Each structure stands twice: as C-alpha cells, then as structure tokens.
Amino acid sequence: MATEQSTQTPATAPGDTRIHNIGYRSYDGPRLGRGYARLSLYSQSLRGSYGLGRSVKSKVLPMLLFVVMCVPAAIMVAVAVATKANDLPLDYTRYAIVMQAVISLYVASQAPQSVSRDLRFKTVPLYFSRPIETADYVRAKFAALASALFILTAAPLLVLYVGALLAKLDFTDQTKGFAQGLVSVALLSLLFAGIGLVIASVTPRRGFGIAAVIAVLTISYGAVSTLQAIAEVQSSGDAAIAWIGLFSPITLIDGVQSAFLGASSAFPGGVGPSSGEGVVYVLFTLGLIAGSYGLLVRRYKKVGL
C-alpha cells in the first residue's frame, strides 16, 4: 500500500488506469519546522492566559485580576505624588508578597486553562503529531505561563517605577529597587508557573485543578505562617523561623529576596534568613523549578501517546 502510494504520481502518468484521480499532490514547499511550531504554541498559550483569542467570558477573570493587581500601585503613586513623600509607601520587592492572593488566584485559574483542556479533549496526541517533541510542548507551556505571570507581577512594579520617577524620587535608589523587584518577580513567576502546571497537568478537570492549585498555595502558606508565628512566640530563634519558611512558595521567594535582594522580610519578627540560609533558599527554589519541569516532561511522556 505504502509503496503503491509513493510511486503514484498525480495527473497524466501514462498507463494510469485509475478511475478516479482527483489530483492529490504532496506539499513540497518550505516547512517552518519545530522551532516555529514551538513558538506558535508559546504565543498562543500566552495570549490564552489573558483570554486573547478566546471568548469574551474567559477574558473577564484574567483582565480583572490584572487590573486588581495594578490599581493599588497606581493609588500608591498618586499618594506619593500628592503628599510629596520621599519614598514609595511600599518596597518594590514587597508588592508581590502583599498581593499574593491575587497572584495565586491567577495561577490557579490559568494553569488548568492552559493544560487541563488539552488533556480532557485528548488533543495532546494531536500536538505531538506535529514536529514538536514532549520537551517542546512542556517548555512552550511553562514559558507561556511564566511570561504571563511575569507580565502580571512586573506591570504594577513598572507603574510604581514610572510614578516614582515622575514624583522626582531619587533615581539610582528607585532603579536599584525596581531591578531587585524584577529579579524577584521573575523567580516568583517561574516557581508559581512550575507548581501550577504540575498540579494542573495531573487532572483533566478544570474546576478540580483550580481548587488543587489554590489549596497547595494557600494551605502551605497558612501552615507555614502559623508555625512561624508560634515559633516567634515561643522564641525558638530566628533560625527556626527561617527553616520553616522553606516549605511554602511565597515564603521561599520572601526568604530569597530578603537574603540577597535587599528586601525587608515579611516573616514574623521581620528577620529573614541569613545569607548562609539564603543559599539554601535559592537552591531550594531552583530545585523546585527544575523539579517541576522534570515532572512535567515525565507526565507528558506518558499522556502524549
């Protein structure tokens, strides 16, 4: 069968005794290849994370969360300009920690949106019938969600920065804070995207994925901050508080930035990890990001078939 098809040339081959020759021709133009397919998947997933190219209803939530994320920054700028303050009311690095509920909700709603529906409608094998590999799919989805999160978390920082410059606050000071804030939210975006995608890729049910992601993010934070508060009351030392902080994503980011990015810690007592503990924090964060990437690749090795 296969050999017959390959020898069959369309149209007017002499001695062709077929009754029907509807002239199928194979495509011999340029092929855009793997890189292009990956880029398309990336850009489509990124657009999808904000509801672009989807129905009006699915634009509401991500856009609303984006606005909710930026409005407090705008208000702070307005206050700083109006009162002619010497500094912004909130550090750049602190902003994402304060707004963590919004960020968690965004990850929880968009991570399942990005991967669960492909699983539920069994479209994953169709992706792999294109010239992309498992790793390409995972990388594209991971990068898309991380970029979407970075846009969500960096936009209010940009508002703060532009506002601070307009209010004629100290340029070098503000630029330094802004750069530190950007590094911190980039790390946060990668970490949250990894955790969200790993959980969402396990379940084909969107609603269930949302609940699972939010449960992991908030319960771990609730547990860690409760234990830290108790450790502080019991005065078992800053070291205990710092070690407990390793076990939830947001306190992990808080620890990294208060150890290396000059942020004031949101830990009870206001004492973040020392730089020795900070190294553990950074390693732990990078390990979690790499681990979630590895888990995703493993998961899609199975479901891709």
Q: Which is nearer to other proteins, 104 or 258 (CB)?
A: 104
Other Cβ atoms closer than 10 A to 258: 27
Question: Which tokens is 280 given?
Answer: 């553990």
Minimum distance from CB of 55 to other proteins (Å)?
A: 5
CB of 154 to other proteins, least distance (A): 22
Residue 227 CB, nearest approach to other proteins (Å): 7
Q: Answer for the pair 116, 203: CB distance below 8 angstroms, yes or no.
A: yes
E strand segments, 188-285: none
Specify the residue, 21 or 44, whose C-beta has the smaller distance to other proteins. 44
Taking the least distance from each CB to other proteins, the nearer of 10 and 222 is 222
| Min dist. Cβ of residue 252 to other proteins (A) | 18
Cα of 265 vs its chain's centroid, Å = 23
Min CB(1)–other proteins separation in Å? 37
Question: Which of 219, 39, 56, 195 lies closest to 112 in space, CA to CA?
Answer: 195
Q: Which residues bind other proteins (CB under 8 A)?
A: 54-55, 57-58, 61, 101-102, 104-105, 108-109, 117, 121, 205-208, 210-212, 214-215, 218-219, 222-223, 226-227, 229-231, 233-234, 236
For residues 57 and 84, which CB has a smaller minimum distance to other proteins in the complex? 57
How far are the Cα atoms of 45, 132, 168 from residue 177, in angstroms, in the given order?
31, 40, 15
- How far, CA to CA in Å, does 10 sit from each of 15, 18, 28, 252? 12, 11, 14, 64
Least distance CB 27 / other proteins (angstroms): 31
CB 128 within 8 A of CB 304: yes
Helix (H) or strand (E) holding 166: helix 134-166
Q: What gap in Å lies between CA 48 and CA 53, rounded to an integer?
A: 7
**What's the closest the beta carbon of residue 59 comes to other proteins, in angstroms?**
10
When the beta carbons of 149 and 187 are compared against other proteins, the nearer one is 149
Phi/psi at 129 (nearest 5 deg)? -80, -10
Sequence-distant (6+) residues with CB within 8 A of 199 are 111, 209, 212, 213, 216
Of residues 187 and 198, the one with the C-beta less far from other proteins:
198
Q: Which is nearer to other proteins, 180 or 201 (CB)?
A: 201
